[in-house]
């Protein structure tokens, strides 16, 4: 018989900046579900990916003097590296720039047009000529462009529209007939109110930028973001191609995990598009809460208050971070992310409760029985509560996981861990160990503790996939003894199993010292940072060269640094680049001759402010062509609260090497 399938998705993230802990939150949660379902025997499809088109990306790339594709390739590789680091077990990774997705979206757009669900009309709004962007009245800041602060004018643009307005009643009916469609329940009313206010048709194409999926029957237009992004959930399964086997197997999705701010798109626009195409609807959309910073603001790239997951994983280990994210905050609610809470969880739950239980148990089995628990064991009524709790733990975890209550599932597991620690205090093995006549009783106590830990290790595996094999190795269990089936059974640990004491799972952290160090590394939310995270703000025309060094992790050795040839150079001439308003073309004397460098600093410097200065040049960077300019290197600049500042070293002669 075919296995039952389970299809789960994360949002596809914008690669407009590096991933932060907020993106990791949804991805880790989806991963835990995917792993849990696989463990239960489902045939799982777990999809994540990136949403790569749109004006914002086009502008970011231009600011760095590279093509949009080069820009996204770089950032997407950082996302992918982070998912690898966090042990994310996604089956597929979709990029909206992938050919099959582009073709799929074009097909869907055409199909909707042919069915009369999309029509051509006019888009009106406040237009900023400099940013080439339309804004609604409410988006304006003091009547001006919210991005650049310049004047805007009322403008019209030809655009395609999707007949969203006709779907209001059908969507309300969907919510009524499928009360489970929007979860948590609390998010449903907001959607109902939104629909009841009346749905307008949705603008689904643009002519004001080009970085998007072209409408194949009208080349002036590119498909506007949501109609490009939402169909990823089906194009990833082959919809729009000739091979529909995965689509037929996995669609409709069992659940789309999304942050609460995009529930509307997933529970109104997405079902409407699918209805218009006569396709089945996803079974559920779960809108999880936000990670907030200590001051209660949402962590976001534009606020610059993001927590870097690389730093955290490096310091505490991936599983500690996965555990904290899923345990600390109930999935549907917002929750604070604080360094203090993170360390408290690591010390109390991981080092004290779990770590101690394992190390005490394995050390005692070693000490009293040389690592092998004798077959002769004497049970007592005192054992029953522990045995009952451990044998039924799987059911309670299953129930919590069915409702995506990660925190409750973990709390149940920790109840058993706490009960086991208490059991050690109650049975006092150290006293039993002194009495030769109590050997069989001591053996039963040790066996019960190992059994509890075995069950804990199985059910914890989807949440902490790196730690649980270490627990199982110390317990000497593998294969059937660690299967999902055996998590629901007591007395599985085979006779003669060899138990060894291993390394400490989670070393205790010195709280005060650590908080001080961590606060230096992770931005303090009270200090408002500059708009852009550091990784993006420095002008780096050669961003693609940095692929191998994701932000936050890269400690390099002196031999790596020695590979970079830094040299002082004089700016002989400087001029704007016609096709790229953010770029300046510099002609340099590098001590050996002349060379040109393109740098994305036009926003901060007029050409005459650079001419004559001596700057620091990365002299051995591979040349790259940027908007028609051959760039033979890169100049160094600092990212300061007042903008980017080029490093001037006027007193040092051109050509001087820098070590």
Distance CA 554, CA 173 (A): 52
Q: Of 353, 375, 409, give the one whose Cα is nearest residue 491.
A: 375
Question: Looking only at residues 602 through 621 of this chain, which bind ligand MSP when binding is defined by CB under 6 A?
Answer: none
DSSP 159-208: EEEE-GGGGHHHHHHHHHH-TTSEESGGGHHHHHHHHHT-PPPEE-EESS
> Cβ atoms within 10 A of the Cβ of 107, count?
16
Minimum distance of ligand MSP from residue 299's CB (angstroms): 4
Judged by beta carbon, residue 35 or residue 264, the one nearer ligand MSP is: 264
* Residue 232: half-sphere exposure toward Cβ, Cα within 13 Å: 29
Q: How far is the CB of 290 from ligand MSP (least distance, A)?
A: 4
Q: Contact between 26 and ligand MSP (CB under 6 A)? A: yes
Stretch that binds ligand MSP, among 30-38, 130-138, 253-261, 442-450 (CB under 6 A): 253-261
Residue 587, Cβ neighbours under 10 Å: how many? 16
Stretch that binds ligand MSP, among 22-30, 148-156, 492-500, 590-598 (CB under 6 A): 22-30
Shortest Å distance, C-beta 501 to ligand MSP: 39
Interacting stretch for ligand MSP, rule CB under 6 A, among 149-157, 208-216, 228-236, 535-543? 228-236
CB of 328 to ligand MSP, least distance (A): 12
Helices 188-196 and 168-177 meet at what angle, rounded to 10? 150
Site membership for ligand MSP, residue 419 (CB under 6 A): no
CA atoms within 13 A on the CB side of 477: 26
Distance CA 619, CA 628 (A): 20
Which residues from 32-51 bind ligand MSP, rule CB under 6 A?
Answer: 51
How many residues are present in the chain?
659
Q: Which stretch binds ligand MSP (CB under 6 A): 255-263, 540-548, 557-565, 611-619?
A: 255-263
Establish if 230 lies at the interface with ligand MSP (CB under 6 A). Answer: yes
State phi, psi for 111 to the nearest 5 degrees.
Answer: -60, -45
Task: Compute the radius of gyration of the chain from its Cα atoms.
Answer: 29
Instruction: Name the H helices within 197-290.
Output: 225-229, 232-235, 245-250, 263-264, 270-276
Residue with tokens 């993230």: 13
Binding of residue 449 to ligand MSP (CB under 6 A): no
Q: Which is nearer to ligand MSP, 291 or 318 (CB)?
A: 291
- Contact between 597 and 625 under an 8 Å Cβ cutoff? The reply is no
Considering the rule CB under 6 A, would residue 14 count as an interface residue with ligand MSP? yes
Number of residues that bind ligand MSP (CB under 6 A): 20
Element (H, E) at 535: helix 534-537
Give the whole-angstrom CA distance, residue 191 versus residue 172. Answer: 9
Q: How far is the CB of 239 from ligand MSP (least distance, A)?
A: 14
Q: Which of residues 286-305 bind ligand MSP (CB under 6 A)?
A: 290-291, 298-299
Rounded to the nearest whole angstrom, what is the least distance from the CB of residue 264 to ligand MSP in the complex? 11
Piece of the chain touching ligand MSP by CB under 6 A; list 11-19, 163-171, 277-285, 377-385 = 11-19
Which of 258/409 has CB closer to ligand MSP? 258
**Contact region for ligand MSP (CB under 6 A) — 136-144, 259-267, 365-373, 527-535?**
259-267
| Residue choice 13, 79, 175, 224 for contact with ligand MSP (CB under 6 A) | 13
Q: Is 455 in the site for ligand MSP (CB under 6 A)?
A: no
Which residues, 6 or more positions from 25, have their beta carbon under 8 angstroms from its beta carbon? 288, 291, 325
- Please tell me whether residue 236 binds ligand MSP under the rule CB under 6 A: no
Interface with ligand MSP includes 259 (CB under 6 A)?
Answer: yes
Stretch that binds ligand MSP, among 198-206, 254-262, 348-356, 586-594 (CB under 6 A): 254-262
Spell out where 405-487 has E strands.
Answer: none
- 159 Rama sector, left if φ>0, alpha if ψ -120 to 50, beta otherwise: beta
Q: Using CB under 6 A as the criterion, which residues of the chain lie in contact with ligand MSP when the complex forms?
A: 11-14, 22-23, 25-26, 51, 229-230, 232, 258-259, 261-262, 290-291, 298-299
């Amino acid at each position: 018989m075919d296995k039952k399938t389970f299809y789960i998705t994360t949002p596809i993230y914008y690669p407009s900046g590096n991933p932060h802990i907020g993106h990791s939150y949804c991805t880790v949660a989806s991963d835990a579900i995917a792993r849990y379902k696989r463990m239960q025997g489902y045939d799982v499809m777990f999809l994540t990916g990136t949403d790569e088109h749109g004006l914002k990306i086009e502008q970011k790339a231009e600011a760095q003097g590279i093509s949009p594709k080069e820009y996204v390739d770089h950032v997407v590789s950082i996302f992918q590296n982070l998912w690898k680091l966090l042990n994310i077990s996604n089956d597929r990774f979709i990029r909206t720039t992938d050919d099959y997705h582009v073709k799929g979206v074009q097909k869907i757009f055409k199909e909707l047009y042919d069915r009369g669900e999309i029509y051509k009309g006019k888009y009106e709004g406040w237009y900023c000529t400099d940013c080439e962007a339309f804004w609604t009245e409410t988006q304006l800041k003091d009547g001006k462009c919210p991005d650049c602060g310049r004047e805007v004018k009322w403008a019209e643009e030809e655009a395609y529209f999707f007949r969203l307005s006709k779907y209001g009643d059908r969507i309300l009916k969907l919510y009524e007939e499928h009360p489970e469609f929007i979860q948590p329940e609390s998010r449903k009313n907001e959607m109902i109110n939104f629909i009841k206010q009346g749905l307008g048709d949705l603008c689904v194409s643009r002519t004001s930028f080009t970085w998007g999926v072209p409408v194949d029957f009208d080349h002036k237009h590119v498909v506007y973001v949501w109609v490009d992004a939402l169909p990823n959930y089906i194009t990833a399964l082959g919809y729009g191609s000739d091979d529909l086997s995965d689509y037929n197997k996995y669609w409709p999705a069992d659940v789309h995990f999304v942050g609460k701010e995009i529930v509307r798109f997933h529970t109104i626009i997405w079902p409407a598009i699918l209805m218009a195409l006569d396709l089945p609807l996803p079974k559920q959309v779960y809108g999880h809460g936000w990670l907030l910073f200590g001051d209660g603001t949402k962590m976001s790239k534009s606020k610059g208050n993001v927590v870097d997951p690389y730093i955290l994983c490096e310091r505490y280990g991936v599983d500690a971070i996965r555990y904290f994210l899923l345990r600390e905050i109930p999935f549907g609610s917002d929750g604070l992310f604080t360094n203090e809470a993170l360390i408290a969880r690591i010390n109390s739950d991981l080092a004290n409760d779990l770590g101690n239980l394992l190390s005490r148990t394995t050390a005692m089995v070693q000490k009293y029985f040389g690592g092998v628990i004798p077959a002769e064991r004497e049970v007592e009524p005192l054992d029953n509560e522990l045995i009952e709790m451990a044998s039924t733990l799987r059911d309670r975890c299953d129930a919590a996981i069915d409702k995506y209550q990660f925190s409750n599932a973990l709390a149940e597991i920790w109840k058993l861990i706490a009960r086991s620690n208490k059991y050690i205090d109650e049975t006092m093995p150290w006293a039993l160990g002194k009495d030769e006549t109590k050997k069989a009783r001591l053996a039963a106590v040790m066996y019960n503790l190992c059994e509890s830990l075995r069950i804990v290790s199985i059910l914890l595996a989807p949440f902490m996939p790196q730690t649980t094999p270490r627990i199982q190795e110390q317990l000497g269990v593998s294969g059937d003894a660690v299967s999902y089936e055996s998590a629901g059974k007591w007395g599985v640990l085979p006779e003669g199993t060899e138990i060894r004491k291993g390394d400490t799972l989670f070393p205790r952290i010195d709280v005060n010292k650590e908080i001080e160090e961590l606060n230096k590394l992770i931005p303090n939310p009270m200090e408002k940072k500059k708009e852009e995270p550091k990784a993006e703000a420095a002008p780096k025309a050669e961003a693609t060269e940095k692929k191998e060094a994701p932000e936050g992790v890269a400690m390099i050795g002196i031999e790596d640094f020695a590979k970079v040839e830094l040299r002082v150079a004089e700016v002989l001439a400087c001029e704007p680049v016609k096709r790229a308003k953010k770029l300046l073309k510099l002609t340099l004397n590098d001590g050996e001759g002349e060379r040109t460098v393109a740098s994305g600093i036009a926003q901060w410097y007029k050409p005459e402010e650079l001419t004559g200065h001596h700057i620091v040049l990365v002299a051995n960077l591979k040349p790259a062509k940027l908007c028609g300019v051959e760039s033979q290197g890169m100049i160094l600049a600092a990212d300061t609260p007042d903008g980017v500042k080029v490093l001037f070293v006027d007193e040092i002669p051109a050509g001087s090497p820098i070590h």
